[in-house]
């Protein structure tokens, strides 16, 4: 699957864009509520900033790792918060 990701520029850009949107959403939440509990919130915001401001520093390995290792955990955390 990683090879498919790396070879498909549209998927790569769409994935990066979605991570930007997630990071911006977390950033906006924290501007309104500094006490909002979300694990890795600063890393999420930092990833957004890195993608937006440092395209030459974004590796396929990094994005793939986020998608595979971190997004499933974030999804569960958000679902839990929504169902509270």
Query: Which residues are marked as active site?
Result: 48, 53
C-alpha span between 23 and 46 (Å, rounded)? 8
C-alpha span between 59 and 81 (Å, rounded)? 31
Closest to 29 (Cα-Cα) out of 78, 73, 70:
78
């Amino acid at each position: 699957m990683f090879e498919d990701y790396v070879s498909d520029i549209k998927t790569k850009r769409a994935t990066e864009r979605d991570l930007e949107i997630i990071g911006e959403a977390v950033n906006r939440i924290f501007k309104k509520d500094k006490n909002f509990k979300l694990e890795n919130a600063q890393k999420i915001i930092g990833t957004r900033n890195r993608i937006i401001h440092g395209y030459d520093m974004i590796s396929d390995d990094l994005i793939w790792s986020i998608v595979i290792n971190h997004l499933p955990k974030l999804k569960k955390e958000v679902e839990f918060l929504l169902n509270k």
